Amino acid sequence: MLIFTVYQRYAAFYLCVLNFFCAPLLAQPQITGELKKWHTINLTFEGPHASETGKINPFTDYRLNATFIHKKTGKSYQVPGFFAADGNAAQTGATDGNKWRVRFSPDEIGVWSWRISFRTGPYVAISDNVLTGKIVQPLDGQRGKFTVQVSDKPYPDFRQRGRLKYVGEPYLKFSEQGGYFIKAGPDAPENLLSYKDFDGDFHNDGHKDHLVKTWQPHIKDWQPGDPSWQNGKGKGLIGAINYLSQKGMNSISFLTLNIKGDDQNVYPFINYETYDRYDVSKLAQWNIIFSHAQHKGLFLHFKTQEVENQGLLDNGGLGLQRQVYYRELIARFSHHLALNWNMGEENGEWYANHQTPPQNTQQRLAMAKYFYLNDPYKHHVVIHNGNFFEDITGNDSYYTGVSLQTGRKDFGSVHDQVKRLRSWPVVNERPLAVAVDEPGDAEYALQPDEFDPLHNDARTNGLWGALTAGAWGTEWYFGYKRPHSDLTAEDFRSRDNFWTQAKYALDFFKLIDVDYQNAVNQDEALNHGWALAKDGEFYIMFAKSAKKELKIKMRGFKGQYNIHWYNPREGGELQTGSIKSFQADTQDEGYWQPDFYDLGKPPKDQHKDWVIFVKEAEQ
């Protein structure tokens, strides 16, 4: 008996030693995705079997995290993982399984090591304590490595340009190439993800089912080789993305939660009434759409809630429901390279009849802080007005930008609103990056081409008004009083003429090759119009008409300046007007005096709007 007992003890000892050294080598994950810089790499593990509706909630009672460390630089990222059902839920519609997944997009070539933390227990998903819950064997502590090569993707795929980052400046910057980004695209329909081809019961749950979309007009834009799911589903929305990319747009916008809102068909949950259980197959299908958009060069504007549902989760607080919601968004979608998290469309207490409790300042600040602390890639975090933005500008704010809405039918308040925000003090030592994401009035805003084929007000006041004030981009709301509205739009060709004009604006900033990100608004530099300028170096000016004599005001600079004209209605190259250049010489009796210099006339259409680009001549 003594010998047997000793044998048991030695056996147990050696088993513990074997488990310690070998557990990390067991149950190696399936690694999918190209092992290349900026590409999404999926680590899929076989773990405990779970179900969307199981007794043990896989979204609250498990916490899977992976830490990735780059050997050469020492860079480290902690990335949350998620329950993936059978690992192929987009295609199978599975609601249960034993697959658990982590998505990672590396920012360096070379060797990356990884290590898993996997724990279970009540509400462990929202705990920051690494010891909360019990370890899940054999996955907890598992480790491995892989080697990342250079990406081979061409423009406009964001994998060619790298992650888009807020870098403490008013414009976002690409990590790979270092260039800055100006966005343009639709802000509508807000219910872009209200789509019949996604899994879920929202199609027929009695909540505004008539608003569920087919995206039928864009099925013709789907191309062989493009993604789809479940025997050809998804072609309409994939085709819509193709169309926008082909038109030169680089941004889309969408709500991820609109329960209680205008549409009521978009939510990540298994049904309309349950807020802590997630529809794994639907979210996997969302990710197919988002991935295709990124490959086509479209920025992802995640609007995480709207005014009607700002208090739906935890009465607006940062409790279990909201933290799990944010964790799931980060785990499943933060690997994408070009995106921002919008904490709320029309957020705050600013109107009389709230469907859910309005959020206060502390709650508004808490949302941004959660993303700052938990998004491994520190994506841009914004909020939309409702309440204006004064209460998010203190040292306790983790917002890096604002999503601006204006209210005039002629878009006439855009320029001054952006100027106002760009003049504000920095927040937490960071200037707010300002995007105009809903210009125009609620009723009409950007109308279909059949009602406004020229889009003169949208182009002049909205588009160029924003850009010359220092906005890093625009997105366009469709109003509710026209066909193809903010809720009913399924055909982006309804505004085809305007997308062309928006592309011309993006083209201009590629043509001029100056550091516009360091320019500031200087409307006083142009006698009739607006100006964005780096004083003494270059001036980007916009005049609604060149019929009046246009002059530039120099502030004590000496040298030759070249004058170029750009047609915002027709695009093309920079053109030469009636005056090619001027010699600035404002020195008078030993000190500098400002003076005006003639800009001349454009090559044609003097009564129409023009962009004037003035740049110091190379010596």
The domain that holds 551 is classified in CATH as 2.60.40
Q: Are residues 344 and 457 in the same domain?
A: yes
Backbone angles phi, psi at 16, to 5 degrees: -65, -45
Token output for 540? 């980007």
Which residues are CB-neighbours of 87 under 8 A, at least 6 positions away? 30, 44, 97, 99, 101
Q: Which of 479, 483, 381, 364 is nearest to 430 (CA)?
A: 381
The conformational region for residue 244 under phi > 0 = left, psi -120 to 50 = alpha, else beta, is: alpha
Angle in degrees, CA 387, 390, 392, rounded to 5:
90
Which residues are CB-neighbours of 415 under 8 A, at least 6 positions away? 461, 465, 466, 468, 469, 530
Backbone angles phi, psi at 403, to 5 degrees: -110, 105
Q: Are residues 507 and 607 in the same domain?
A: no
**Under a CB-based contact definition with an 8 Å cutoff, are residues 489 and 480 in contact?**
no
HEC readout, 347-416: ECCCCCCCCCCCCCHHHHHHHHHHHHHHCCCCCEEEEEECCCCHHHCCCCCCCCEEEEECCCCCCCCHHH
Q: Are residues 457 and 599 in the same domain?
A: no
Which has the minimum average pLDDT: 165-174, 418-427, 606-615?
A: 418-427
Q: Is residue 3 part of a domain?
A: no
Q: Are residues 97 and 75 in the same domain?
A: yes
Distance of CA 299 to the CA centre of its chain: 5
Q: What is the pLDDT at residue 429?
A: 76
First-to-last alpha carbon distance for the chain, in angstroms, is 97
Domain of residue 55, residue span: 24-148
Q: Is residue 502 part of a domain?
A: yes
Residue 403 pLDDT exceeds 90: yes
Q: Are residues 556 and 572 in the same domain?
A: yes
CA distance 180 to 400: 16
Q: What is the pLDDT at residue 9?
A: 44
Token output for 140? 């907890």
Last-in-domain residue among 148, 171, 199: 148
Q: Is residue 251 part of a domain?
A: yes
Q: Are residues 205 and 98 in the same domain?
A: no
Alpha carbons within 13 A on the beta-carbon side of 178: 1
**Under a CB-based contact definition with an 8 Å cutoff, are residues 179 and 171 in contact?**
no
Residue 619 pLDDT exceeds 80: no
Q: Are residues 343 and 457 in the same domain?
A: yes
pLDDT tens-digit profile of 518-562? Answer: 999 999 999 999 999 999 999 999 999 999 999 999 877 889 999
Residue 425's pLDDT band (boundaries 50, 70, 90)?
confident
Residue 3's pLDDT band (boundaries 50, 70, 90)?
very low
Q: What is the pLDDT at residue 26?
A: 55
Q: What is the pLDDT at residue 588?
A: 53
Query: What's the CATH number where 97 sits?
Result: 2.60.40.10
CA dihedral (462, 466, 472, 476) in degrees, to 10, reads -10
Q: What is the pLDDT at residue 618?
A: 86
Residue 14's pLDDT band (boundaries 50, 70, 90)?
very low
Q: Are residues 29 and 114 in the same domain?
A: yes
Q: Is residue 18 part of a domain?
A: no
Q: Are residues 248 and 319 in the same domain?
A: yes
- As a whole number, mean pLDDT of residues 508-526 equals 96
Q: Are residues 559 and 461 in the same domain?
A: no
Place of tokens 């625009």: 474
Backbone angles phi, psi at 540, to 5 degrees: -105, 110
Last-in-domain residue among 456, 489, 515: 515
458 or 20: whose pLDDT is higher? Answer: 458
CA distance 156 to 164: 13
Q: What share of the chain in percent tops pLDDT 90? A: 90
- As a whole number, mean pLDDT of residues 287-315 equals 98
pLDDT tens-digit profile of 174-222? Answer: 999 899 999 999 999 999 999 999 999 999 999 999 999 999 999 999 9
Q: Are residues 190 and 314 in the same domain?
A: yes
When the pLDDT of each residue in the chain is averaged and rounded to a whole number, the result is 94
- As a whole number, mean pLDDT of residues 39-51 equals 98
Q: Is residue 110 part of a domain?
A: yes
CA distance 307 to 316: 11
Token output for 419? 């100027």
Q: What share of the chain in percent tops pLDDT 70? A: 94
Q: Which of 266, 252, 294, 271 is nearest to 163 (CA)?
A: 294
Last-in-domain residue among 105, 122, 148: 148
Q: What is the pLDDT at residue 571?
A: 98
Q: Is residue 591 part of a domain?
A: yes
Domain count, the chain: 3
Distance of CA 397 to the CA centre of its chain: 19
Q: Is residue 16 part of a domain?
A: no
Q: What is the pLDDT at residue 586?
A: 60
Residue 24 pLDDT exceeds 50: no
Q: Are residues 134 and 246 in the same domain?
A: no
Neighbours of 450 (CB within 10 A): 11
Please return the burial class of 83, using the count of CB atoms within 10 Å of its CB with bins 0-12, 13-18 and 19+. Answer: buried
Distance of CA 467 to the CA centre of its chain: 19
HEC readout, 585-613: ECEECCEECCEEEECCCCCCCCCCCEEEE
Residue 27's pLDDT band (boundaries 50, 70, 90)?
low
pLDDT tens-digit profile of 362-391? Answer: 999 999 999 999 999 999 999 999 999 999
Q: Which of 593, 587, 585, 566 is nearest to 577 (CA)?
A: 566
Q: What is the pLDDT at residue 18?
A: 41
